[in-house]
Homo-oligomer: A and B are copies of this chain.
Amino acid sequence: MIQNLKRRLLGEKLPTDKLSEEKFNVFWGLPLLASDAISSVAYAVDEILWVLVPAIGLTSYFWSPKIALAIIILLLVLTISYRQIVSAYPNGGGAYIVAKENLKIKYGLIVGASLSVDYILTVAVSISAGTAAVTSAIPALFPHRISIALFFIALMTIGNLRGVSESSKFFSIPTYAFLITILSLVIVGSIKSIGNGVMATPILSDSPVTFGTRAVSLFLLLRAFSSGCAAVTGVEAICDAVPNFKEPAVKNAKLAYVLLTIAVIITFGGITYLATVFHPVPNSQQTVIAQLAASIFGKGIMFYIIQGTTTVILAMAANTAFAGFPILLSIIARDGYVPRQFALRGHRLGFSNGILLLAIAAGTLIIVFQGDTHLLIPLYAIGVFTSFTLAQAGICLKWFRTKPKGWVYKAFINGLGTLITFITVIVIAITKFLSGAWVVLVIIPIIVLSMLKIRDHYSRIAKRLDIPNDRIERLKLSSKPTPYVIIPIQSLNVMVVKTLRYAKSLSNEVEVFNVETYEGEADKLRKKWAKLKTDVPLVIKQSAYRDIVGSLTEYIESNEHASRHGDFITVLLPQFVVAKPWEMALHNNTSLFIARALLNYRNIVVSLVPFQIEEKSELYKDIDLEIEEG
C-alpha cells in the first residue's frame, strides 16, 4: 500500500540510464540560474528599511540608497571575481571543490557546511518571503502563513523527488515575468514621482512600526548593509553550472554573469529608488513591493500580477536550493564526509535523502521562526559570504601557484574579492551577532567537526575491510568442520519442526534450547519433545529474570561444544511471517529481538527461518507428506 502511494505520488521508478542533462543557451539558462539572486530583491529592500526606520525614522530614506550602492559595488566585485573562477573551472565545481582543491580540506568542509546551512536558509527565507507576497495580496490568509509555507515546501519536495527537469524551459518564464513586472513598476513609479514630487509622509500611517528619532551611527549603517547583503546571495549558481551551458560554455557563462549583474542592479536599484520616493514602511503584514505596487498601480490587476510573479520567482529560488543542496551533499558524501546515503540516487534518480533533509530542515526553521522572513535574515548571508571568501581565496592561491599568463592581474582581482567578502563576513557576524548570526557561527563548526568524525569512521572501516592485493592470493578458504547449531524455541509446533529439519541439513550437531520463564512450562515441553523421538537434545534453562537472550548467550559461552568450534556458532530462529503489518504488532516478535541482540556477539550467525502463516494448504501438505513417507 505504501509502495502504491509512493508510485502515485512520485511516478514509476526510473532506470539508471535515463540520467542525462540537457544543455541550454544563455537566454534559457540565465533565468534558471539567476532566480535566486534576482528574487532576493523581493526582501532585500525591506530588510535594509527594517534596520533603519525603527531607529532613525524618515532619515532612512536618505541613507538607504547609499547602502544599496555599496551592495551594488560589492556585487560588481563579486561578478568580476566569479567570471575568473568560471574560466579556471570550466567543468563547474562550486566553492566546495575550489576550496578543497586549492586550500586545505578543512576549508573545503567549512565551505560545505556554510553552503549547506545557506541552502536550507534559502528555502526558508524564499518560501517565507513568497508566502509574505501572497498574504500581502490576500491579508485574510495571514494567520495561515505557516501552513501555506509548509504546503509550498511539500509541493517542492514531491516535485523534486519526482525529478523536476532542471533545464525545463517552463521554469525560465517566471524570472522574465518578474523582471518585466518590476521593470514596469520602476518605470511607472518614476514617472508618477516626477508628477507628484517626493512624498513627505510614509505610505502606511497606521503602521505598527514606530518611527525612530535616534542619531545615525556607523554601526547602524553597517547593520543595514549586512541585512541588504541578502540581495547578493545566489550569485555563485552560474559558476557551479558552467558545463550545463551550450558550447562555448565558458563564454556563455561569463555573458550570463554580466546579464545577471545588470538585472540585479536594475531591480534592486529601482526598488530602492522607489522607496526613497514613496516611503514604504517595513512591517510583517505588507511587503515593500506590495506597498509600492498599491501606491503606484492601486489595488487593481497590476498589483495582483506583481504579487503573483514575486511569489513564483521566490518559489523558483527555493527550488534552486532543492536542485543544488542534494548535489552538493552527494559530492561531499562521495568524499566520505557525510553519510553515504546522500550519494545514493533514489526511486526517480534524484538524491532523495538530500531532498528530504532539506525539506525537513527548512520546514523546521519556518515553524520555529513563525514564517517571518525578517527574523530569518540575520542567519542568512553569513554562510554565503564565507563560501565566497574561501572560494576566491582558493582561486587566488591557485594563481600564485600556477602563475599562468596575466596571473598578477587575476590574483589581484580575486584577492580584492577575497578581501571585500571577508570584510563583509566580519561586518555581518558583528552587526547581526545577537539577532541570530551566533547560531550559524556555532552550527558551522559543529557540522565541520561532525564531517571529520564521519570521514574518520569510514576510513577506519575501509581499512579494516580491505584485503591488499598481494594477500588475496594467499587466503585460505578451506571448508571448516560441520557447524554447531542452536535453535531457541518456546514450544513444539509445526514451525519448530520445519526449522529442525533445516538444521539437520546443515549439521549433525544440533541442540534445541528453551528458557523456562514460568514454572511448569518446561515439563510440558519435555513430554512433548520425548514423543518426537529425535536424537536432538532439548536443553532447558531457568531464568528468574525472564531473560531469553541472556540465558542463551550464557549457555553458549559456558558450553564446551560451542567453544570447541572456534569459528561461528549458528543460532536458528524460527520466525513466523504474517501477511499484514498490523498482525506483526500482535506478537512479541521474540525472534527479532533475539536476532538484534545476538548481532552484537562475536561469531554468532543469526539465521531467521521463515514460516508463512498464510497459504495454509501448501505448507501443511509438505508436513503431511513427510508423515506418510516416514
Question: Which residues between 282 and 302 of chain A lie within 8 Å of chain B, taking CB atoms?
Answer: none
Q: Which of B464, B505, B600, B630 contacts A475 (CB 8 A)?
A: B630
A599 contacts which chain B residues (CB < 8 A)? 575, 577, 608, 610
CB distance from A361 to the nearest CB of B (A): 16
Whether A560 sits at the interface, judged by CB under 8 Å, is no
Which residues of chain B have C-beta atoms less than 8 A from A507's C-beta? 506
Copies of the protein in its oligomer? 2
A532 contact from B454, B475, B493, Cβ within 8 A: B475
In the complex, residue of chain B having the shortest beta-carbon distance to the beta carbon of A610 = B599
Determine whether A471 belongs to the interface, using a CB cutoff of 8 Å to chain B. yes
Q: Which of B14, B475, B505, B626 contacts A476 (CB 8 A)?
A: B626
- Asked whether A602 and B612 contact (CB < 8 A) given A477-B504, A587-B340, A627-B471, the answer is yes
B605 adjacent to A610 (CB under 8 Å): yes
**Is the beta-carbon distance between A341 and B493 smaller than 8 angstroms?**
no
Chain B nearest Cβ from A18, distance in angstroms: 9
**Does A482 make an interface contact (CB < 8 A)?**
yes
CA distance A610 to B596 in the complex (A): 11
CB pair B544–A17 under 8 Å, yes or no, is yes
Cα–Cα, bound, A13→B547 (Å): 10
A531 touches B477 (CB 8 A): no
Q: Is the CB of A630 within 8 A of B474?
A: yes
Closest residue on chain B to residue A595 by CB atoms:
B608
Closest to A533 in B: B473
A494 near B478 with CB under 8 A, answer: no
In this assembly, does A500 line the interface, its C-beta being within 8 Å of a C-beta of chain B? yes
**Which residues of chain B come closer than 8 Å to A532, judged between CB atoms?**
472-473, 475, 477
Asked if A409 is an interface residue, CB under 8 A from chain B, the answer is no
- Considering only residues 540-580 of chain A, those with a C-beta below 8 Å from chain B are 544-547, 567-568, 570, 572, 575-578
Q: A20 in the interface, Cβ–Cβ < 8 Å?
A: no
Given A16-B517, A599-B610, A610-B604, also A465-B494 (CB < 8 A):
yes
Kindly state whether residue A401 has any CB partner on chain B within 8 Å. Answer: no
B544 touches A16 (CB 8 A): yes
Which of the listed residues A474, A483, A567, A570 has the most CB atoms from chain B within 10 Å of its own CB?
A: A474
Contact between A630 and B544, CB atoms less than 8 A apart: no
State whether the Cβ of A481 lies closer than 8 Å to any Cβ in chain B: yes
Which of A344, A507, A518, A583 counts the most chain B CB atoms within 10 A? A583
CB-defined contacts of A615 to chain B, threshold 8 Å: 602
From A42-50, A431-439, A455-463, give the one contacting chain B: A455-463
Contact yes or no, A483 B506, CB < 8 A: yes
By the criterion CB–CB under 8 Å, are B494 and A531 in contact? no
> Which residues of chain B come closer than 8 Å to A502, judged between CB atoms?
480, 483, 567-568, 605
Q: State how many angstroms separate the Cβ of A540 from the closest Cβ of chain B.
A: 16
A585 within 8 Å of B (CB atoms): yes
Q: Determine if A404 is an interface residue (Cβ-Cβ < 8 Å).
A: no
Contact B480 A501 (CB under 8 A): yes
Contact with B along A40-58 (1 / 0, CB 8 A): 0000000000000000000
**CA of A471 to CA of B630 in the docked complex: distance in angstroms?**
11
| Cβ contacts under 8 Å, A460 to chain B | 613
Q: Would you call A4 an interface residue if the criterion is a C-beta within 8 Å of the partner chain's C-beta atoms?
A: no
Known: A605-B607, A610-B599. A531 touches B501 (CB 8 A): no
A106 sits at the interface (CB 8 A): no
Interfacial chain B residues near A479, Cβ < 8 Å: 501, 504-505, 508
Residue with the highest number of chain B CB atoms closer than 10 Å, among A341, A460, A476, A570: A476
Cβ contacts under 8 Å, A517 to chain B:
16
Partner of A518, one of B14, B15, B16, B627: B16
Q: How far is the CA of A505 from the CA of B500 in the complex (A)?
A: 18
> Is residue A534 within 8 Å, beta carbon to beta carbon, of the partner chain?
yes
A528 beta carbon closer than 8 Å to chain B: yes
Residue numbers in B under 8 Å from A547 (CB-CB): 13
Contact A478 B504, CB 8 Å, known A544-B16, A586-B339, A608-B595: yes
**Given known contacts A339-B586, A340-B588, what 4 new A-B pairs fall within 8 Å (CB)?**
A340-B586, A461-B613, A474-B627, A477-B532
The chain A residues found within 8 Å of chain B, CB to CB, are 13-17, 339-341, 344-345, 454, 457-458, 460-461, 464-467, 469, 471-483, 492-495, 497, 500-502, 504-508, 517-518, 528, 531-534, 536, 544-547, 567-568, 570, 572, 575-578, 583, 585-588, 595, 599-610, 612-613, 615-616, 623, 626-627, 629-630
- Would you mind naming 24 contact pairs between A and B with Cβ atoms under 8 Å apart? A13-B547, A16-B517, A17-B544, A339-B585, A457-B586, A461-B613, A465-B493, A467-B493, A467-B494, A469-B528, A475-B623, A476-B627, A477-B536, A478-B504, A480-B504, A483-B506, A502-B567, A506-B506, A506-B507, A599-B610, A605-B608, A606-B608, A606-B610, A607-B608
The 3 closest A-B CB pairs, nearest first, are A476-B630, A15-B544, A480-B505
